[in-house]
Structure 1
Amino acid sequence: MKITVNRLFNYSSLWCATYYNSELKNSFVDLRNFKNFTNNSAIPHIDPDTFASSYVNKPMKILNDFINRKDVYTAALQNGICEAELSPLLTSFADYYSTHWCSNLEMGVILSDIEKEHKHITDLLPIFLRFAYSHRSSKESLVKTRSIIQDFVHNYHSKSFQDARHVKRKIHMHTGPTNSGKTYHAMQCYLKAQSGIYAAPLRTLAYETFVRTNNEGIDCDMFTGEQKIYKNNADKPSAHISCTTEMVPTDMAMYEVAVIDEIQMIADVQRGGAWTRALFGLCCEELHLCGHESAISIVKSLLESTGEELTVHSYERLTPLTLLPTHLNSNCLQLRPGDCIISFSRQKLHQTKAKIEEKTNMKCSIIYGGLPPSVRLEQIKLFNDPDSEYQVAVASDAIGLGVNLNIKRIIFDDLYKMLHNEMTRITPELVMQVSGRAGRFMSLYPAGEVTCFHANHYPLLKYLFNAKIPDIAKAIISPPPQIWAELDYIMPNYDLVQLLQFMNMGLSKSYRYEFFVRHDLEKMSFLYKKIGLPSLTSLSLLECFVNLKKPFVCNIAEQIFTMFAEGKVLTYEDLLFICSWPRPPPAYAQSLELYERISDVCDLYLWLNQRNPKFFPDRLRVQELKEDISKTIGETLCRPCINDGTDVLYIPDSVYCENLDKYLTETALKNL
Structure 2
Amino acid sequence: MNALLRNAYKWPKCTPPVSVAAFSTAPSPWRKAANSSSKSRERERNIINLHHEINDSLDQLKDSLDHGESLSRGGRPSKNKSTFSQKRSYQMFEVLVNARVNKVMREMGDYRDRQEDWRAFGVNNQVQLDSSIGLFKKALDTCFAKATEKGMISRSDNPLFWNLRNSFVKGDNRGLSSELVHSFQTFLMKERFPDAINELHREIADLRFPYEWYPATRMLQRTVHLHVGPTNSGKTYNALKALEGAKTGIYAGPLRLLAHEIWSRFAAKGKPCALVTGEEVRIPEGVDRWFHSCTVEMSPLNKPVDVAVVDEIQMIASEDRGWAWTQAVLGLQAKELHLCGEDRVVELIQDLCARIGDRCIVHRYQRLNPLETMSKSLRGDFRNLEKGDAVVAFSRVALHKLKAGIEQATGKRCAIVYGSLPPETRAQQAALFNDPNNEYDYLVASDAIGMGLNLEIKRVIFESSSKFDGNKVRSLTVPEIKQIGGRAGRYRTASAEIASAQEGAAGGEEAVEAKVESNTGWVTAFDFRDLQDIQNAFQKEAKPIETAGLFPPANIIERFHTYFPPRTPTSFVLTRLRELARLSPRFHLCDFDTALEIADAIQPYNLSVADRCVFLNCPVSFRVSRDGESNGQREALQAFAKCVAEMGSGHLLDFDCIDLSILDMDEEKRMTMFNNPAYLQSLERLHQIITMYLWLSYRYEGVFQSQSMAFKVKEIVEDRITEFLDKLTYVTYSQARRRQAMREAAERHKKAEEQLLGEEEQEHLQEHHEEEPEEPTIEIVEELDPEEIIGEVIEEGGTGEREPGPDAEKNQGSG
**Letter of the structure 2 residue corresponding to residue 556 of structure 1:** A
Q: Aligned partners of 1:405, 1:387: CA distance in 2, in Å?
A: 16
In the alignment, is residue 204 of structure 1 matched against residue 285 of structure 2?
Answer: no
Q: Aligned partners of 1:172, 1:300: CA distance in 2, in Å?
A: 10
Q: How does 1:239-638 map to 2 (within 5 A)?
A: 239-251=290-302, 253-419=303-469, 421-442=471-492, 446-490=519-563, 499-500=573-574, 502-507=576-581, 510-517=584-591, 519-531=593-605, 533-549=607-623, 551-574=631-654, 578-581=658-661, 582-584=663-665, 588=674, 590=677, 591-634=679-722
**Letter of the structure 2 residue corresponding to residue 609 of structure 1:** S
Is the 8 Å Cα contact of residues 294 and 470 (structure 1) preserved in structure 2?
Answer: yes
For residue 561 of structure 1, report the CA deviation from its aligned partner.
Answer: 2.9
Cα distance per residue 1:387-408 (max 9 Å; x no partner): 5543323333222111012221
In the alignment, is residue 183 of structure 1 matched against residue 236 of structure 2?
Answer: yes
Using structure 2 for the length normalisation, give the TM-score.
0.62
Greater fraction of residues in helix: 2
Q: 1:22 aligns to what?
A: 38
**Letter of the structure 2 residue corresponding to residue 538 of structure 1:** R
Q: Aligned partners of 1:392, 1:240: CA distance in 2, in Å?
A: 35
3-state DSSP class of the match of 2:363? strand
**Letter of the structure 2 residue corresponding to residue 546 of structure 1:** V
Cα distance per residue 1:583-629 (max 9 Å; x no partner): 43665384445434433322222211111011101222222332333
Q: Aligned partners of 1:642, 1:161: CA distance in 2, in Å?
A: 53
Q: Aligned partners of 1:534, 1:494: CA distance in 2, in Å?
A: 12
Q: Aligned partners of 1:316, 1:76: CA distance in 2, in Å?
A: 48
Cα distance per residue 1:60-112 (max 9 Å; x no partner): 69869x99x9856235999xxx97773599699999x989x9xxxxxxxxxxx
Q: Relative to structure 1, is the Cα distance of residues 256 and 130 closer, same or farther in structure 2, using a 3 angstrom cutoff?
A: closer
**Could you tell which deviates more after superposition, 390-399 or 456-465?**
390-399
Q: Aligned partners of 2:546, 2:183: CA distance in 1, in Å?
A: 35
3-state DSSP class of the match of 1:520? helix
Q: Aligned partners of 1:471, 1:91: CA distance in 2, in Å?
A: 24
**Could you tell which deviates more after superposition, 537-546 or 551-560?**
551-560
3-state DSSP class of the match of 1:198? strand
Q: Aligned partners of 1:515, 1:130: CA distance in 2, in Å?
A: 21
Q: Relative to structure 1, is the Cα distance of residues 354 and 93 closer, same or farther in structure 2, using a 3 angstrom cutoff?
A: closer
Is the 8 Å Cα contact of residues 270 and 519 (structure 1) preserved in structure 2?
Answer: no
Q: Aligned partners of 2:328, 2:183: CA distance in 1, in Å?
A: 43
Q: Aligned partners of 1:92, 1:266: CA distance in 2, in Å?
A: 20
**Letter of the structure 2 residue corresponding to residue 514 of structure 1:** H
- Uncovered stretches (5+) of structure 2, i.e. residues with no partner: 1-33, 44-97, 105-135, 150-155, 494-515, 625-630, 735-786, 793-815
Q: 1:169 aligns to what?
A: 222
Alpha-carbon RMSD across the aligned residues, in angstroms, is: 4.0
For residue 300 of structure 1, report the CA deviation from its aligned partner.
Answer: 1.1
For residue 161 of structure 1, report the CA deviation from its aligned partner.
Answer: 0.8
**Of the two structures, which has the highest relative contact order with CA contacts closer than 8 Å and spacing of 6 or more?**
2
Q: Relative to structure 1, is the Cα distance of residues 98 and 208 closer, same or farther in structure 2, using a 3 angstrom cutoff?
A: closer
Cα distance per residue 1:513-532 (max 9 Å; x no partner): 12221553343232222555
Q: Percent identity?
A: 30
Q: Aligned partners of 2:439, 2:622: CA distance in 1, in Å?
A: 36
Cα distance per residue 1:155-198 (max 9 Å; x no partner): x212x111111111121111111111111111111111111111
3-state DSSP class of the match of 2:698? helix
- The count of residues paired between Structure 1 and Structure 2 equals 567
Is the 8 Å Cα contact of residues 647 and 703 (structure 2) preserved in structure 1?
Answer: yes
Cα distance per residue 1:237-280 (max 9 Å; x no partner): 433111111111222x2211111111111111211111111111
Q: 1:12 aligns to what?
A: none
Q: Aligned partners of 1:391, 1:594: CA distance in 2, in Å?
A: 34
Is the 8 Å Cα contact of residues 256 and 285 (structure 1) preserved in structure 2?
Answer: yes
In the alignment, is residue 195 of structure 1 matched against residue 195 of structure 2?
Answer: no
Is the 8 Å Cα contact of residues 400 and 726 (structure 2) preserved in structure 1?
Answer: no
3-state DSSP class of the match of 2:143? helix
3-state DSSP class of the match of 1:265? helix
Greater fraction of residues in strand: 1
Q: Relative to structure 1, is the Cα distance of residues 131 and 178 closer, same or farther in structure 2, using a 3 angstrom cutoff?
A: closer
In the alignment, is residue 136 of structure 1 matched against residue 190 of structure 2?
Answer: yes
Q: 1:10 aligns to what?
A: none
**Could you tell which deviates more after superposition, 465-474 or 595-604?**
595-604
Cα distance per residue 1:553-601 (max 9 Å; x no partner): 4443333333333321211323587223424366538444543443332
Is the 8 Å Cα contact of residues 91 and 498 (structure 1) preserved in structure 2?
Answer: no
Using structure 1 for the length normalisation, give the TM-score.
0.74
Cα distance per residue 1:389-436 (max 9 Å; x no partner): 433233332221110122211111221223463322211100011011
Equivalent of 1:73 in 129, 143, 160:
143
For residue 631 of structure 1, report the CA deviation from its aligned partner.
Answer: 4.2
Q: 1:230 aligns to what?
A: 283
Q: Aligned partners of 2:492, 2:163: CA distance in 1, in Å?
A: 56
Q: Relative to structure 1, is the Cα distance of residues 153 and 130 closer, same or farther in structure 2, using a 3 angstrom cutoff?
A: closer
Q: Aligned partners of 2:167, 2:568: CA distance in 1, in Å?
A: 12
Q: Aligned partners of 1:377, 1:631: CA distance in 2, in Å?
A: 16
Cα distance per residue 1:282-306 (max 9 Å; x no partner): 1122111111111111111111221
Is the 8 Å Cα contact of residues 642 and 649 (structure 1) preserved in structure 2?
Answer: no
Q: Aligned partners of 1:384, 1:594: CA distance in 2, in Å?
A: 34
**Letter of the structure 1 residue corresponding to residue 201 of structure 2:** T
Is the 8 Å Cα contact of residues 333 and 360 (structure 1) preserved in structure 2?
Answer: yes
Q: Aligned partners of 1:249, 1:399: CA distance in 2, in Å?
A: 26
Q: Aligned partners of 2:166, 2:379: CA distance in 1, in Å?
A: 49
Q: 1:86 aligns to what?
A: 160
3-state DSSP class of the match of 2:386? coil
Cα distance per residue 1:617-644 (max 9 Å; x no partner): 1222222332333345456656684559
- Uncovered stretches (5+) of structure 1, i.e. residues with no partner: 1-17, 28-57, 102-124, 651-672
Q: Aligned partners of 1:601, 1:450: CA distance in 2, in Å?
A: 38
**Letter of the structure 1 residue corresponding to residue 691 of structure 2:** D
Cα distance per residue 1:185-244 (max 9 Å; x no partner): 1111111111111112111111111121121121112211222212215xx443311111
Is the 8 Å Cα contact of residues 440 and 447 (structure 1) preserved in structure 2?
Answer: no
Q: Aligned partners of 1:338, 1:63: CA distance in 2, in Å?
A: 55
Q: Aligned partners of 2:365, 2:571: CA distance in 1, in Å?
A: 41
Cα distance per residue 1:27-56 (max 9 Å; x no partner): 9xxxxxxxxxxxxxxxxxxxxxxxxxxxxx
Q: Aligned partners of 1:404, 1:92: CA distance in 2, in Å?
A: 36
Q: Relative to structure 1, is the Cα distance of residues 468 and 168 closer, same or farther in structure 2, using a 3 angstrom cutoff?
A: same
**Letter of the structure 1 residue corresponding to residue 639 of structure 2:** Q
**Letter of the structure 2 residue corresponding to residue 149 of structure 1:** A
